[in-house]
């Protein structure tokens, strides 16, 4: 794979998307379309590259930094 799929802004996000999708496939989710590979990780990579996996960036959750005494 050359570069990142369109709409994915970092390698870290790409790895997170692929790993979460691969875990779904391992847990029994059906592949989207006819897979060219057998391994869940490769199937997930193809799905993310083809923009078949829907995802949404959520704003970060602010955590309280106050220390209670």
Name the one residue in this structure whose structure tokens are 């799905």: 47
Q: Measure the CA–CA gap between 50 and 1, rounded to whole angstroms.
A: 12
Confidence (pLDDT) at 69 = 55
Residue with the larger pLDDT of the pair 6 and 68: 6
Domain ranges of the chain: 11-49
pTM: 0.74
Write the pLDDT tens digit of every residue in 9-60.
Answer: 889 999 999 999 999 999 999 998 888 888 999 999 999 999 888 887 787 7
DSSP H or E run through 33: none
6 vs 11: CA distance, rounded Å: 12
């Amino acid at each position: 794979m050359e570069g990142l799929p369109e709409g994915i802004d970092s390698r870290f996000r790409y790895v997170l998307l692929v790993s979460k999708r691969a875990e779904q496939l391992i847990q029994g989710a059906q592949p989207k379309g006819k897979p060219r590979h057998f391994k869940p990780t490769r199937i997930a990579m193809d799905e993310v590259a083809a923009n078949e996996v829907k995802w949404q960036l959520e704003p970060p959750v602010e955590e309280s930094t106050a220390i209670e005494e």
